[in-house]
Structure 1
């Protein structure tokens, strides 16, 4: 029996991006999926665009209320979802037409907890796991290509591992994925290209916050405090010009 799939999206005043995402969902060769949207209380035309798409997509579930950021919204969306697996797709991302069909097929064939696929980060193709695939260096990228667009997640994992943590507003996905893998979750890599991700979120705008959260997560996962502190200093020095520009 083929597993069911949910596409989950967090939105807030995303009217300029959503038409591209909606068009990519309408273009799916397999229309049998649900789109679950957790909106942060948008004041523009975001909700109108989503509601208008109900005539083109099989199932849309929308919940709009103020939240505490993207991971709080994703936690809400995951709870509302009914799919066996879910794929996080940002309001400014797009899925390629075969994405839903490919993810469902891969989940059915492998039964894996995570099915990770290729995707474009802007114009750069992310075609596999970063090498060398060392967790102490790469974090979640030692196992998966990425979180949004490039990963189907078994929804029941949250019963075992817990929600996305509010204590890591930039990298709660890293912590969740690593904790799941440390608890035995199985990852399978497939070579199809799922879509296009646009890295314009908070983590790309807050380089210092990203580096510090990654450090905290790596230490939390049991990696050497001394070595992670040295890596922290190296990353701070390497990224200092970007950090200065973001002040």
Structure 2
């Protein structure tokens, strides 16, 4: 670990970027370069690695020369187990989840810190780019239809999260190996957590993750989450059926 994680001016919160890695050497250099290019360098990068064997750790060792890196590498039980480890290590007032194949805009951290300080919100939801598309918060806050996406645009890249929320609402649940972020965000919102929108593009969201490949898993877990929060079971079953038909072609590949 190099650099310092200094006490910020009273107007700006401490900030952590957290990443779960496992054999990500092929994609990690892009993220490293985008972190090195940040206009606001007063942040820590906390990496929870799943005992990589492909050169990921060597890449991180090189990155530690220029970034304030905290690394924990050991076998884990998937991405949310790794993220929970990283959150427990993080010293920031807020954290931003960034995947190994994601890339941040050069001013992303500066703008997140400013937005967090200005709004004092528990979640600050910005915009992510995914190919030629922009991922924003839905225009209508219909939780029954959009789940957590009624409040935030994307868990990775574009959502700053107040770290201490986990002390009140728990960590990412191992009951939902694909949609634990949806479960946590909705529990926090139902508990009174405040979400603020920020209209800036934070970065590029890589789409190689599990949720992008397992449409049926995502639908199943979000069905359980929404029903568990009290949404009408019949309505959710109908939505599940419609989504199953829409995504059937993808699920057969």
* TM-score in same-fold range (> 0.5): yes
Root-mean-square deviation (CA), in Å?
A: 0.8
1:227-238 correspondence runs (5 A): 227-238=235-246
Name 1:122's counterpart in structure 2: 131
Name 2:227's counterpart in structure 1: 219
| Residue 30 of structure 2 is aligned to residue 20 of structure 1 | yes
How many Å separate the matches in 2 of 1:147 and 1:192?
A: 15
Moved more, 70-79 or 219-228: 219-228
Name 1:61's counterpart in structure 2: 70
Match of 1:81 among 90, 102, 106: 90
How many Å separate the matches in 2 of 1:82 and 1:20?
A: 24
For residues 70-124 of structure 1, what are the alpha-carbon distances to aligned partners after superposition, in whole Å with 9 as ceiling and x for unaligned? 0000000000000000000000000100001000000111110000101102231
Please, which runs of 5 or more residues in structure 2 have no aligned partner? 1-9
Secondary structure (helix, strand or coil) at the match of 1:55 reads coil
How many Å separate the matches in 1 of 2:183 and 2:37?
A: 33
Please, which runs of 5 or more residues in structure 1 have no aligned partner? none
- Once the two structures are TM-superposed, the CA of residue 29 in structure 1 deviates from its matched residue by 0.3
How many Å separate the matches in 2 of 1:74 and 1:141?
A: 20
Q: TM-score, normalised by structure 1?
A: 0.97
Q: TM-score, normalised by structure 2?
A: 0.94
Moved more, 67-76 or 208-217: 208-217
Q: Which consecutive aligned stretches of 4+ in structure 1 deviate over 4 angstroms post-superposition?
A: none
- Once the two structures are TM-superposed, the CA of residue 242 in structure 1 deviates from its matched residue by 1.2
Total equivalences in the alignment? 243
How many Å separate the matches in 2 of 1:167 and 1:197?
A: 25
1:133-212 correspondence runs (5 A): 133-212=141-220
| Residue 39 of structure 2 is aligned to residue 37 of structure 1 | no
- Once the two structures are TM-superposed, the CA of residue 133 in structure 1 deviates from its matched residue by 2.3
Moved more, 39-48 or 231-240: 231-240
- Once the two structures are TM-superposed, the CA of residue 210 in structure 1 deviates from its matched residue by 1.1
